[in-house]
A and B are shown apart, each in its own frame.
Chain A
Amino acid sequence: MNRIDKKFSDLKKRKKKAFIAFLTAGYPDFSKTEQLVLEFEKNGADIIELGIPFSDPIADGPVIQKASFEALKKGATLKKAFDLVTRLRRKTQIPLVFMSYFNPVLSYGLSRFVKDALRSGLDAVIIPDLPPEEEKLFAQEVSRCGLARILFIAPTTTLARAEKIARQAKGFIYFVSLTGTTGQRRQLPPELKGQLQRVKKNSHEIPVCAGFGVSSSDQVRFIAAYCDGVIVGSAIVKKISEKCGHADMVRSVGLFVKHLKGDI
């Protein structure tokens, strides 16, 4: 059983939900990213999503765009992100997921990507601009090697399509909680609860986690009541950016993660 499946099965036994923390790999630098991941785990994060910086992040709002550009300016690459995973694996067994746009993966080489993912100890990959219809050979190779390809279901996804996606999904289904880009919103859409319940009902036992726009512990608790996990990204990255340069950055962002997670 891979680390993600194991994590969800453990959480289920304890009647708990997954708190998934996103951070941009290489922001503010790779050594800080490494410390942050370990600190997040200490503070209760269940899964870590590492954003691979890309020059044209069309699904991201301003906060993650900025972190992405800063990381690129300092020379962040996919290769360095794999090295980070290798280093982390000597210290932790927390599930690690890459969130990357497709072009850096394509440019890296699809089979080289899968090989390095396995070698470093990566558990899953999320590619926001790669729907299940494209690159079927890559999808097959990913699945053959036991790397989970996490797929999205959006509020605009039809029921028939959502069922098709659920049948192919591995790891967990990423439910996009709103139409739009990543980034905090004061309010989540009122129809979210009903949508989550519908997706849960048709998800064939695969865990459903929701993200996009989630930034407060109240929102986390609300969403966790209707699915298996919650993903928070921009709010954490924003906190990192605010605390950049402070000596206690790692510790205080860790405490923020603990606060967001609450007791879900």
Chain B
Amino acid sequence: MLGKKTYNTDIMLPDKHGHFGIFGGQYMPETLMEALSDLEVIYRKALRDKNYVKELSFYLSAYAGRPTPLYLAKNLSRILGSGKIYLKREDLMHTGSHKINNTLGQALLTKRMNKKRVVAETGAGQHGVATATVCALLGLECFVYMGTEDIARQALNVYRMKLLGAHVVPVSSGSKTLKDAMSEAIRDWVTNVRTTNYILGSVGGPHPYPMIVRDFQSVIGKEAKRQILALEKRLPDTLVACVGGGSNSMGLFYPFYKDKKVKFIGVEAAGYGLNTNFHSATLVKGRTGVLHGAKSKLLQDVNGQVKIAHSIAAGLDYPGVGPEHAYYQATGRATYAAVTDKEALRAFKLLSQSEGIIPALESAHAIAYLEKLASRLKKNSIVIVCLSGRGDKDAVSLKDMSG
């Protein structure tokens, strides 16, 4: 069973049923079980097919902008006072975030299934835009489910999706955010499963999604590893990334999994504060549960009803988290912390003004954590932060807030 520090890095996870220790699995309606199994078969076959691998890598570089720079943020490092802070610049990717690493991979899989219709969920709209983009590129019909609250606070991304030819379907049930958008996307998929592929945006959901999305996002960590070895001739001491569902963090962490000296820190959204009911700190404050197809940590009440999460960053505003993160936490491989809306906003300004980089509010959470980490860093510590997205999408609503 799982005990602290007893993880065996030699075992490849997930196991063949999609479990990461006690987490993960396929908690899904029977109607979707065959589609999930097909997806896994097609994915494994594609990985062995040189044409698929070549095509994906072509689009990732020629179309989407890989590799992204690993940038030493000297000004930020100086302000924080210790350590060398490197930023993995996923904000420079086409569409503005790391999300396209995954949507390109999954859209190419969709073509191989001969399916012409795609559904997706989105919170901040980053995954929605990345899905709409690849669907425009590859001629797929695209339906993006989005909570009405997120539609209001991410107007720019809604416009982008529509411009790209996608149908944005408003979801006004429950939380009116990512959680219910995902439920509606699943309901669409269960209804149209014969013609439709679900392009899931994070390392959550039923197996094989957590594995597939992790693998596609691992390009972040693989590049970062190569780049830091070239720049510093050694591995970093610490990796820091924000965690909503957990895709950019898992993408950065996973290629360093066996490098046990490299510390992983995932930063969740503490919203108004961890002692309030308004946060999205699933790993820090949740308990084991099942939502949207996987067993993981979950924000829930004593009766197992899922709580409504809160974060100023729509992309972190989700009461669940990818099962592999729950496994990393349970085994001690990664630690998870949380920063508040206020701290994230301060970091948003700090990075903008010190480095001339406007981060997405999601990524600003990772930056904010650096202020807490700084006092514990040695002078020559190397830290890589995943700057998962850029902040253009947030500028409008923040401008309104600050008047």
Cα of A56 to Cα of B85 in the assembled complex, Å: 40
14 A-B residue pairs with CB within 8 Å: A54-B304, A56-B180, A56-B292, A58-B190, A59-B29, A104-B305, A107-B303, A129-B28, A129-B29, A131-B30, A134-B25, A151-B30, A154-B33, A176-B31
Of the listed stretches B90-98, B191-199, B220-228, B394-402, chain A binds B191-199
Counting CB contacts under 8 A, is B6 at the interface?
no
Counting CB contacts under 8 A, is A152 at the interface?
yes
Counting CB contacts under 8 A, is B113 at the interface?
no
Interface of B is mostly: mixed
Q: A130 contacts which chain B residues (CB < 8 A)? A: 27
**A154 → chain B closest CB, angstroms:** 4
Residue among B17, B29, B34, B289 with most chain A CB within 10 A: B29
Counting CB contacts under 8 A, is A65 at the interface?
yes
Would you call B29 and A77 a contact (CB within 8 A)? no
Cα of A78 to Cα of B301 in the assembled complex, Å: 13
Partner of B303, one of A104, A155, A156: A104
Would you give the 0/1 interface string for B27-67, flagging 1 where the beta carbon is closer than 8 Å to chain A?
11111111100000000000000000000000000000000
**B210 → chain A closest CB, angstroms:** 15
Q: B157 contacts which chain A residues (CB < 8 A)? A: none
User: In the complex, which residues 49-77 of chain A have their Cβ closer than 8 Å to any Cβ of chain B?
Assistant: 54-59, 61, 65, 69, 72, 77
Would you call A103 and B304 a contact (CB within 8 A)? yes
Cα of A79 to Cα of B303 in the assembled complex, Å: 9
User: In the complex, which residues 83-107 of chain A have their Cβ closer than 8 Å to any Cβ of chain B?
Assistant: 101-107
Partner of A156, one of B25, B34, B179, B187: B34
Q: B190 contacts which chain A residues (CB < 8 A)? A: 58-59, 179-181
Would you call B33 and A104 a contact (CB within 8 A)? no
Would you give the 0/1 interface string for B296-323, flagging 1 where the beta carbon is closer than 8 Å to chain A?
0010101111100000000000000000
Counting CB contacts under 8 A, is A133 at the interface?
yes
Counting CB contacts under 8 A, is A140 at the interface?
no
Q: How many residues of A contact B (CB 8 A)?
A: 41
Would you call B31 and A154 a contact (CB within 8 A)? yes
Q: A158 contacts which chain B residues (CB < 8 A)? A: 34
Counting CB contacts under 8 A, is A9 at the interface?
no
Chain B residues packing against A (C-beta within 8 Å): 17, 25-35, 173-174, 179-180, 183, 186-187, 190-194, 288-293, 298, 300, 302-306
**B21 → chain A closest CB, angstroms:** 14
7 other A-B residue contacts (CB within 8 Å) besides A103-B300, A107-B289: A56-B183, A57-B183, A59-B187, A103-B306, A105-B304, A106-B290, A130-B27
Counting CB contacts under 8 A, is A128 at the interface?
yes
Chain A residues packing against B (C-beta within 8 Å): 54-59, 61, 65, 69, 72, 77-79, 101-108, 128-131, 133-134, 151-158, 161, 165, 176, 179-181
* Known A72-B305, A129-B290, A154-B31: A103·B298 in contact at CB below 8 Å: yes
Q: B26 contacts which chain A residues (CB < 8 A)? A: 131, 133-134
Would you call B30 and A106 a contact (CB within 8 A)? no
Would you call B187 and A129 a contact (CB within 8 A)? no
Closest 10 CB pairs of A and B: A107-B304, A152-B30, A180-B191, A154-B31, A104-B304, A55-B305, A154-B30, A55-B306, A103-B304, A103-B290
Partner of B293, one of A57, A72, A107, A129: A129
Would you call B30 and A176 a contact (CB within 8 A)? yes
Residue among A56, A77, A129, A153 with most chain B CB within 10 A: A56
Cα of A58 to Cα of B27 in the assembled complex, Å: 11
Q: A176 contacts which chain B residues (CB < 8 A)? A: 29-31
Residue among A55, A129, A155 with most chain B CB within 10 A: A55
Cα of A102 to Cα of B298 in the assembled complex, Å: 13
Would you call B193 and A156 a contact (CB within 8 A)? yes
**A79 → chain B closest CB, angstroms:** 8
**B240 → chain A closest CB, angstroms:** 31
Would you call B300 and A154 a contact (CB within 8 A)? no
Would you call B305 and A54 a contact (CB within 8 A)? yes
Cα of A103 to Cα of B301 in the assembled complex, Å: 11
**B368 → chain A closest CB, angstroms:** 30
Q: A78 contacts which chain B residues (CB < 8 A)? A: 303-304
Q: A57 contacts which chain B residues (CB < 8 A)? A: 183
Would you call B30 and A181 a contact (CB within 8 A)? no
**B370 → chain A closest CB, angstroms:** 34
Partner of B29, one of A54, A58, A103: A58
Would you call B187 and A58 a contact (CB within 8 A)? yes
Would you call B192 and A179 a contact (CB within 8 A)? yes
